[in-house]
Amino acid sequence: MKKIKYEDIGSILNPLKNLQFFARKPVTEPLGPRPAAEIYRGFHLNDMEKCIGCSTCQKICDNAAITMVKVPHLKNDPVNGIRNLRPAIDYGRCCWCALCVDICPVGAIELSREYVHTCNGDEVDSYFMLPQEKGMHGTVEEKGWTKTETNDLLDRHRQKMGEMAPEERVDNFDEIVDGFTPEQAVLEASRCVQCGMCHDSCPTHMHAPEYIRAIWKGNVEEAVEWMYETNPFSHVCGRVCTHRCETACSLNQTGLPQGSEPIAIRWLKRYAMDAVPHERIKEIAASKKSATRTGKKIAIIGAGPAGLTAAFDLIKQGHEVQVFEALAKAGGMTRYGIPYYRLPDDILERDVDVILSMGVKIQYNTRIGKDIAMEQLHKDYDAVILAIGLQSGRSTRIPGSDHKDVHSAVELLRKIGSVRDDIKAEKDPGFEIPRSAVVIGGGNVAMDIGRSLARYQKQQYGEVNMTITAIDAMENFPADDVEIKESLEEGITIIPSRGPQEVMLENGRVKGLRTWKVISVFDDDGRFAPQYDESDEQLFEAEMVIEAIGQMAETDLLGEELTEQLEWQRGRIKVTEDGATSVDWLWSAGDCVNGPDVVHAVADGHRVAESINEALSVER
């Protein structure tokens, strides 16, 4: 670099040297708008199909420039994580920082290279616009600032939860997952963008955004308060919920190079419930109880999630509630259907205990229709809720399926559950454990029975010899992915696309299951009509065959008269949206209405309780 001395006075002629500029080529710029750089931050683009309406862009916008607008013709399906809201931008406020692009969970909103917009004074409305794929003037061809792995601001990956290794867990019924540590829970909760898809998709509309935020703030009690607004089975749901919320979660995205896992909402719920002392949870639950008593009496048949949730609500509203349970303990399918390694009994016990502490009375070992007649309930109570669940298994009705070593999965699970109740013995389920067994069915119940029996096999014979086979292709198994994964890890063989044809017998004992290869499950109209390749026959050798292909309600308790009085629909009692049957004192709720699902049963319990409360209030 040429030095200039301060002392140098300079020359008056120096500027004249710049006369040479007359000889240089002049710089000319075209009149039209200059093309912007490749990652220019110009006006917004929004892929209307990709956008899920989660409004995360609105939350990050530091200038409050984004308004969420409802676009009616778009899909609105929060259960699948899509709302029909789309961001509209106020260009009087936007500063083009592109934080909305960086945070968008799906990568729908982007900036373009378009930067010129002007209007007459009376058209300022044109600065408020709903970005589309082609930009604000419909002419954009090239994108500007877009989402890349580098500028993505979201934490896409879950906190890894500790769990037992397959070899450690396969010979016992200990709970598999460890639960979050406080640090993990706060980190996991911090990933939430508070879109509320989880709330909308949850059958019982749990306040998940609120309790996740509370956990993030370190306030687990507040989290539990939010949970008890909508779910008295939070311990149970914290462990075995089908977690539609996580399916709907805005962070549950495929197709991004960096991947994206939903918030572990279920585990967060479990964490908060475990973190608050049991006595405190009771206080929280009781704090919402009405002080006045209505004097109305309600009978509930079945102490499962639906029945007990209804009981919880009704007692809060000041009614008197009596629950009748045919078995020895409360919990219904959550106790007698879900194995201990997924839901330990003492955890379930805590939920039940909170409900009992509210003043709900349960009469155990009382089967309605046998011990007490339905008519009697009608006389003694102002309303009756039928929450009997689905207690008997469906059968394939293939030849040989009436053999004594062909069982239904729910029946076996109930046996396992009952025995565990009484003697807490891990070794003896009260029936002979087969050395080899085959389960028909691809749902969670099939996995539950398969994995439970596998544990007994491991304990008694030292090895697992268990096959689960189903008519569906592997990717269409109704069971949760994690159930399938863990079953395989535990040494269970899963064979998809096989149609059971016959239970083979030899000398009066079960020898195995004969199956055909499935070509297609449904016909062109979408009806269940499996087609087989008869040449591809396979025999699964087994001492026991277990059917896990669906469940039915046992409705004989109703009695002939009532059965006739009620309206039916496809074998189920017909109910209104609120769970009211066609008989004015009888409501029905839970699995026997909706099919098997805990959180649905809870939602149903709320709905029925609300409906009864209203009906009884009108009478008053």
Partner 1 sequence: MNCEEINLWLDTLLAEIEEIEVTRKSERRVRVDVPASSLPALLELLKGKASYVHLSAISCVDWPDDEEFELVYHCWSYEAKSLLSAHTRIPRNSAQEFAHYVSVYDIYKPAAFFERDIYEMYGIYFESSPYMEKFILTEWNGPPPMRKDFDAEQYVNDTFNWADYHPQWLQELEEDGGGIAVRPEDIRL
Partner 2 sequence: MRPENYQLVALPNSDEYELFIGPNHPGIEGNYAFKLKLDGDRVISGKADAGYLHRGFEKLMEGRLWIQNLAIVPRICVPDPVPMEVVYSLTVEDIEKMEVPLRGQWIRVMQLELSRIASHLFTFGGHAATTGMYTPSYWGVADRDLALDLFEELTGGRVYHIYNIPGGVRRDIPNGFLDRLSDYLDYLETRQNDYDNLLFTNQVFVKRARNVGVINQEQALEWGVTGPNLRATGLAFDVRRDDPYLIYNELDFEIPTQTAGDCLARILVRRDELFQSVRILRQIIKHLPSVKGPVRAPIPNPLAWNVSMGESYCRVESSKGELAYYTVSDGGPKPYRVHVRGASSMHAVQVLENMAVGQRIEDIAQIMFSLDACPPEVDR
Q: Which residues bind partner 2 (CB under 8 A)?
A: 1-2, 4, 6, 8-12, 14-15, 17-18, 27, 36-41, 56, 59-60, 62-63, 95-99, 102-103, 111, 144-145, 148, 150-151, 153-155, 187, 189-194, 213, 216
Q: Strands 383-386, 392-393: parallel, antiparallel or unpaired by DSSP? A: unpaired
The nearer residue to partner 1, 129 or 177, going by C-beta atoms, is 129
Separation between Cα atoms, residue 312 and residue 356, nearest integer Å? 8
The nearer residue to partner 1, 128 or 585, going by C-beta atoms, is 128
The nearer residue to partner 1, 104 or 236, going by C-beta atoms, is 104
Do the Cβ atoms of 510 and 543 come closer than 8 Å?
Answer: yes
19 interacts with, out of partner 2, partner 1, none, CB within 5 to 8 A per kind: none
124 interacts with, out of partner 2, partner 1, none, CB within 5 to 8 A per kind: partner 1
Told to check if 358 binds partner 1 by CB under 8 A, we report no
Told to check if 138 binds partner 1 by CB under 8 A, we report no
From 41, 45, 84, 368, residue interacting with partner 1 (rule: CB under 8 A): 84
Do the Cβ atoms of 293 and 318 come closer than 8 Å?
Answer: yes
Q: Cβ of residue 4: shortest distance to partner 2, in angstroms?
A: 5
Told to check if 67 binds partner 1 by CB under 8 A, we report yes
- Find, among 473, 553, 458, the residue nearest to 518 by Cα: 473
Mark the segment that binds partner 1 (CB under 8 A) among 84-92, 152-160, 435-443, 600-608.
84-92
Separation between Cα atoms, residue 24 and residue 543, nearest integer Å? 98
Query: Which two structure tokens, joined as six digits, stand for 512?
Result: 């195995």
Query: Which two structure tokens, joined as six digits, stand for 353?
Result: 């205990």
Told to check if 15 binds partner 1 by CB under 8 A, we report no
Told to check if 121 binds partner 1 by CB under 8 A, we report no
Mark the segment that binds partner 1 (CB under 8 A) among 52-60, 373-381, 397-405, 419-427.
52-60
- Find, among 362, 350, 345, the residue nearest to 311 by Cα: 362
The nearer residue to partner 1, 56 or 611, going by C-beta atoms, is 56
Q: Strands 44-46, 109-111: parallel, antiparallel or unpaired by DSSP? A: antiparallel
70 interacts with, out of partner 1, partner 2, none, CB within 5 to 8 A per kind: partner 1
Measured CA to CA in angstroms, residue 155 lies from 248, 251, 274, 608 at distances of: 17, 9, 25, 40
Three-class SS state of 581: coil
187 interacts with, out of partner 1, partner 2, none, CB within 5 to 8 A per kind: partner 2
357 interacts with, out of partner 1, partner 2, none, CB within 5 to 8 A per kind: none
Chain Cα centroid distance, residue 584: 33
Separation between Cα atoms, residue 225 and residue 233, nearest integer Å? 13
Told to check if 124 binds partner 1 by CB under 8 A, we report yes
From 55, 260, 408, 467, residue interacting with partner 1 (rule: CB under 8 A): 55
Q: Cβ of residue 36: shortest distance to partner 2, in angstroms?
A: 7
Cα–Cα–Cα angle for 157, 155, 192, rounded to 5 degrees: 95
Separation between Cα atoms, residue 29 and residue 127, nearest integer Å? 28
Residue 277, φ and ψ in degrees, nearest 5:
-60, 145
Residue 411, φ and ψ in degrees, nearest 5:
-65, -45
Told to check if 116 binds partner 1 by CB under 8 A, we report no
Separation between Cα atoms, residue 428 and residue 415, nearest integer Å? 10
90 interacts with, out of partner 1, partner 2, none, CB within 5 to 8 A per kind: partner 1
Query: Which two structure tokens, joined as six digits, stand for 339?
Result: 């194995």
Q: Cβ of residue 238: shortest distance to partner 2, in angstroms?
A: 21
Separation between Cα atoms, residue 306 and residue 600, nearest integer Å? 8
148 interacts with, out of partner 2, partner 1, none, CB within 5 to 8 A per kind: partner 2
Separation between Cα atoms, residue 406 and residue 461, nearest integer Å? 21
Told to check if 565 binds partner 1 by CB under 8 A, we report no
Told to check if 71 binds partner 1 by CB under 8 A, we report yes
Q: Could you list the residues that contact partner 1 (CB under 8 A)?
A: 55, 58-59, 61, 64-73, 84-85, 88, 90, 92, 124-130, 194
